[in-house]
Structure 1
Amino acid sequence: MPYAAITYDIVGGHEDEVAEVFANFRRPTSAVVPETGDASETRIIATAVFIRDSLLVRFIEYEGDLEAVARFMAAQPGVQVVEEKLAPYLRNPRDTSTVEGFLKTFKSSLLRSVSQLSATSRS
């Protein structure tokens, strides 16, 4: 299953406050992304968030279409709450209040995948 990673530029010295924002995150009621327009099912398998100093990274394990995952995340109330609560700690403002703004931010903060290995991909 593929992974994606997105970054947030955080004002240093606020790691505990940012961790608290994610500690109260509300997951979507379903991991399945609604109709994506193709035969394959798109779903979010897992997410993880890591922080050090001024860098926060959110990892997303998913199946299917990454843009559909991002569009789904944009509409989730829990994601909107996190984005709103993170705003005071961001070095650069992020326009995530609309689906279009969220998608633009998601794409611009997406890290390039260099390698993805798993135990199931061993020969």
Structure 2
Amino acid sequence: MPYVAITYDIKSGCEDEVAEVFADFQRPKSAVVPDGGRILATAVFIRDATLVRFIEYEGDLDAVARFMAMQPGVREVERKLAPFLNNPRDTGTVEGFVRTFRASMLRCITQFAVPRAA
């Protein structure tokens, strides 16, 4: 399965406040992406001024990003994170979210996974 990691440039010293934002995160009711694919897993990591959201998915990455852009929980997290960001993120529209998502991606160097049972 492919993975993607996106970064957020957080104001230093706000790690605990940012962790609280994600503590109340509401997952989508379904992991199925209507345009094809699924979000299999997510994880969020923070250290100092860097926050990384890690996503394991199936299907088209742009479809996954569009799906995420429309999820109430994701929109709420983006709204709550805004005061803690060093640089504003244009995530108020689906197009802005996808553009910001793409611009925030870390370059993948390698991916390894143990084969999963069907």
TM range (shorter): over 0.9
Alpha-carbon distance between aligned partners in 1 of 2:33 and 2:44, rounded to the nearest angstrom: 20
Structure 1 residues 55-70: aligned runs within 5 Å: 55-70=50-65
- Partner residue of 1:85? 80
Runs of at least 5 residues in structure 2 that lack an aligned partner in the other structure: none
Moved over 6 A (4+): none
TM-score, structure 1 normalization: 0.92
Deviation at 1:119, TM superposition (A): 2.1
1:59, CA displacement in angstroms? 0.2
In the TM superposition, what whole-angstrom CA distance separates every residue of 1:16-51 from its partner, at most 9, and x where no partner exists?
A: 0000000000000000001x2xxxx40000100000
SS at match of 2:75: helix
Matched with 2:115 is 120
TM-score (norm 2): 0.96
Answering whether residue 24 of structure 2 is matched by residue 24 of structure 1, we say yes
Displacement after TM superposition at 1:70 (Å): 0.2
Q: Could you say which residue in structure 2 is the equivalent of 1:8?
A: 8
Q: Look up the SS of the partner of 2:68 in the other structure.
A: helix
Query: What's the C-alpha RMSD, in Å, of the aligned pairs?
Result: 1.0
Q: What's the CA shift for 1:84?
A: 0.3
| Percent pairwise identity | 71
CA distance in 2, matches of 1:109, 1:95: 11
Unaligned runs of 5+ in 1: none
SS of 2:33's equivalent?
coil
SS in 1 for 2:115: helix
Instruction: Provide the aligned length of Structure 1 versus Structure 2.
Output: 116
Larger Rg: 1
Q: CA deviation at 1:74?
A: 0.2
